[in-house]
Structure 1
């Protein structure tokens, strides 16, 4: 009887100790502040950085200060590839990066760069929100330890140079064009007759100014916000790529958050990096093109006949990259074309 009483007493003490320990651990988890550092090459006025500041304000309030967000725009922490590498290594928590930069870790992301892959932004969103995006996200998580919290619009990309308008592929012959560090972009401009020059985005303005390159390709918002119109003359509406961004977060950092904060990060990412960023990007595109004209640039559209020439010129890339990247990812792409 005495032994049984002793056992009950010991069990009660253990339960009490575990309860106290759980209470202390729970209290510490509630009191701990988790800092999320977000990098971007873009200026404060670009939609994804505006989204980052809204994300910061909203999540800090919703988490009652348990999450603190620091935003580093203007390439303060490096170019897209450097920051993507830092996220993979865990020395940076999140980067708002072009999907092209992710080809280093998962080459199949190159399918999103394929020229004329999508007819408009809405079809691109359907693809990355659907099976194609889920497939790529899983690959990225497994290969690089990066979680993609959402796809954003990087703009409809057009061609710009300081020599002459681009109306058809022949106009690109011999031009030294800066491209993103992506095999697809390099292949695209080779197929179009240009001399593709991979380069970090942070180096482009100076290279244009010094005329070490003739031109590049970019969406209209970047032309205005980065003042590229100061060093370029012709903006040709080729619409060759619906460019996308990823809100890419280090997997270990994400997993270190308590479950309630994980859910908050997911919800807030969709609210700001997906819904909000896409919305303002689409609304402002036409306005930016008008501003380019106001700033003295010559803007030209592409006729249907010449558009067909561009599409035909790059068709060899599809068979080439399907062989390189595999049929699975191209099968998924075709569902959304």
Structure 2
């Protein structure tokens, strides 16, 4: 298996230092919470709800400082900062968190989930979420809750994508996670891994033809303004973790931990519901902006699934056998 080292743009140490580092004043704790999501994405109001519930529930003993819209760096940078404790907390996708622990990208294997019912059963409330939570705990990151980052779709400025052959030759921004990079390379695309904070500029400058993200992120980051075609491939699912540095967590009293935990669970529940609702709204916005949505026929989906199975086979030695066995037993290989 060919291994890749992805070079990600790292935010400056001064920026991260400005986030706080678990600053405590007497019995108070200050949590800087980072997110790369755009203001119109459901993660943003969920962060605001989390802040309100935590500060009210702890009578100000735990304060939350929101660092949203990528101001403290891309998701890999934030994940590493939460691990170190230079950023106390974050709302970060599982793909972003995989920069700290690559094992959790098993959840992003192409065509792992068929629909949201399977996601809710096996990720949010099941063995995949539990596995990823356990792996991140070993890296000093505590997952308070899992939220929704959507099934992924494919957009581009060149041509309609109605079958696997249409992907060949496209220069695509793919999230810098090996399982997805390998999948699109197997389909004949030229892959350019970039953090999401750099995608719009790359699209505007013609450095890439297209990108793969959910409908909500595509709309909220303005990618639709420079894309003509979009296909709802549902080729991979991504969750979002509401996370906190483990040592910072341990510094909070048990009483206030209970408040923070419930606030995160409530914020994630709101985010999941809102993010699902936003898919149709944002699809309409993209269509109004001139984006044409194309469909895959059953034969094309079967072809993509067959290519996905080849990627699965390549990663048998990359992921823990136990989790792969659970996936096979619970979700099957098709």
TM-score by length of 1: 0.88
1:133–1:335 Cα change, 3 Å? farther
Residues 36-47 of structure 1 aligned to structure 2 (within 5 Å) = 36-47=31-42
Runs of 4+ with deviation above 6 angstroms: none
**Aligned residue among 113, 136, 141 for 1:140:** 136
Structure 2, unpaired ranges of 5+: 1-23
Q: Which residue of 2 aligns with 1:25?
A: none
**Aligned residue among 102, 105, 126 for 1:130:** 126
Matched, 1:108 2:100: no
Contact 2:104–2:135 under 8 Å retained in 1: no
Deviations 1:220-257 (A, max 9, x none): 11222222111111011111112211112100000100
User: How far off is 1:327 after superposition?
Assistant: 1.6
Contact 1:178–1:196 under 8 Å retained in 2: yes
**Aligned residue among 191, 195, 198 for 1:200:** 195
Q: Which residue of 2 aligns with 1:315?
A: 309
Structure 2 distance, partners of 1:45, 1:105, is 27
1:34–1:321 Cα change, 3 Å? same
Structure 1 or 2, whichever has the larger Rg, is: 1
Structure 1 distance, partners of 2:234, 2:132, is 24
User: How far off is 1:333 after superposition?
Assistant: 2.2
Matched, 1:234 2:257: no
User: How far off is 1:312 after superposition?
Assistant: 1.0
Structure 2 distance, partners of 1:64, 1:281, is 30
Structure 2 distance, partners of 1:73, 1:91, is 16
Structure 2 distance, partners of 1:291, 1:268, is 31
Matched, 1:304 2:298: yes
User: How far off is 1:185 after superposition?
Assistant: 1.2
Matched, 1:289 2:283: yes
Structure 1, unpaired ranges of 5+: 1-28
Q: Which residue of 2 aligns with 1:15?
A: none
Contact 1:236–1:299 under 8 Å retained in 2: yes
For this pair of structures, how many residues does the alignment match?
307
Structure 1 distance, partners of 2:329, 2:75, is 29
Contact 2:79–2:99 under 8 Å retained in 1: no
Structure 2 distance, partners of 1:334, 1:267, is 32
TM-score by length of 2: 0.89
Moved more, 173-182 or 203-212: 173-182
Contact 1:108–1:329 under 8 Å retained in 2: no
Q: Which residue of 2 aligns with 1:120?
A: 115
